[in-house]
Amino acid sequence: MKVKFQDKEINIKKIGILTGGGDCAGHNAVIYGLLKRINQANQNLPGGEKMELIGLKEGWKALTKDKDNSVELKTEDLKDSFKVCGTIIKSSRTNLFSNANLEKKAPEKAMENLKRMKIDCLIVLGGDDTLGAAGRMGKQFTFPMLGAPKTMDNDVFGTECTYGFESAVVESVHFIENIMTTARSHNRCFVIELMGRHAGWVALHAGIAGGADIVLLPEETVDVKKVIKQVEKAMAYQKYCVVVVSEGARLFDKRYPKEVSDSNEELLDKVLSDKKYALVKARHLLPKKLDSFGNEQLGGMGEYVFALLEKNTENIEFRLQNCGHAIRGGVAHIADRLLGLRFGDALFQFIKEGKFGVYPGIEADNIVANNLVDVKGGKFIPQDNQLFAMRNAVDFY
């Protein structure tokens, strides 16, 4: 298909597509939405302009290898796959622009591989790190790039919602509701850790929709003494309690009132000095691991909250559950299927219009185009958000 790029006519015949970062619901739907439009256009295009969609396996990693790690994508590959989570072309957390990869000239290698495979346009599906690399590649090498914003965290700017979010919330709600059955049956307090690195959208929506009593988010520093009182109030009122903790929730912040930080530190010291919580202490002493983009690999905040509550309350039985990666998988729920399909459809329209270097977003239910170079994450929950004020049900008992 002949389109305009940089004021020149180019013939887009091979469209490459890759998925980067964590898997989630909607990846396959985006690919299928794009493929359907390609197939439709091919019905009327002359032979020399017909298009094919090439999946590059394992994300950016596919372009750092010497061997061809690609596959032509067909309708039969996606007819049913778009209904499930994950990505049929696999993913990886590969940063082409890490210091190590810059030394290896990975971006140049990636561009060489794109040309060797005769890829005319590359579409990248991922979060802000993955999309940012696409924007940088497109600008550095003057290459037709496009992207689509995924993340179950829902924290990419330029769109009211990312695909992957809705399914993660629904699965989290199921998890919370199932746990609540046992909490009621045994008069227990359950601490449930959910994913959410810097933004707590999943924990907020799932916690409220699932009926959790207390929801702890990355956007705030946990006041442990306040949470202890809330748990005791819930147990006194209904004999059970469910505390939802986002993995990115924090116990310390230099911006927080010193007396709260000092209090949290004192309570944590009591936990770390108790042999019963040797595993919590071991985690606490471990050096922090970073992924290739420099993001701290989180997890374990639920253990801290569980230990702090158990250590500083009496006559309450506590249990800890970590939802983990389970909320990423399974069935892709309807909202993510539709959003993925819409983004795939929009990507084809961008190509047709010669609109490169952008990624689609949703704004008032309309598709908008955002600049890949300007993509960023960190779309946090504002304190004036209605759900933010509703998140702790125990406050209304």
Residue by residue, DSSP assigns 343-390 as HHHHHHHHHHTT--SEEEEEETTEEEEEEGGG-----PPPTT-HHHHH
Q: Consecutive sets of 10 residues in the chain, 397 residues long: mean pLDDT of each?
A: 94 96 94 97 95 96 88 94 94 89 92 95 95 94 96 94 96 96 97 92 97 94 94 96 94 77 90 91 78 63 94 96 87 96 98 97 96 93 92 88
Q: Decide if 35 contacts 81 (C-beta within 8 A).
A: no
178/58 Cα distance (integer angstroms)? 34
Residue 150, strand partner residues: 163
Same fold, 2-163+332-374 and 167-328: yes
pLDDT, one tens digit per residue, over 157-195 is 999 999 999 999 999 999 999 999 999 999 999 999 999
Name the phi and psi angles at 95, rounded to 5: -105, 105
Q: Is 40 helix (H, G, I), strand (E, B) or coil?
A: helix
Name the phi and psi angles at 213, rounded to 5: -80, -35
Tokens 């700017």 map to which residue? 157
- Given this model, what pLDDT does residue 287 score? 75
- In degrees, to the nearest 5, what angle opens at C-alpha 279 toward C-alphas 273 and 285? 70
Give catalytic residues, as residue numbers. Answer: 153
- Given this model, what pLDDT does residue 253 score? 76
Find the DSSP H helices in 127-277. 128-141, 165-186, 201-209, 224-238, 258-272
Q: Decide if 324 contacts 247 (C-beta within 8 A).
A: no
Q: Is 11 helix (H, G, I), strand (E, B) or coil?
A: strand
- Given this model, what pLDDT does residue 163 score? 96
378: left (phi over 0), alpha (psi -120 to 50) or beta: left
Domain boundaries, the chain: 2-163+332-374, 167-328
Residue by residue, DSSP assigns 286-315 as SPPPB-TTS-B----HHHHHHHHHHHT-SS
Which residues 6+ apart lie within 8 Å of 66 measured at CB? Answer: none
Among 341, 342, 367, 363, CA closest to 355: 367
The continuous run of DSSP H or E covering 145 comes out as: strand 145-149
Q: What is the architecture, at CATH level 2, of domain 2-163+332-374?
A: 3-Layer(aba) Sandwich (3.40)
Q: Decide if 130 contacts 367 (C-beta within 8 A).
A: no
207/67 Cα distance (integer angstroms)? 46
Q: What is the architecture, at CATH level 2, of domain 167-328?
A: 3-Layer(aba) Sandwich (3.40)
Model pTM score? 0.91
Find the DSSP H helices in 187-257. 201-209, 224-238
The continuous run of DSSP H or E covering 386 comes out as: helix 386-390
Tokens 């061997």 map to which residue? 67
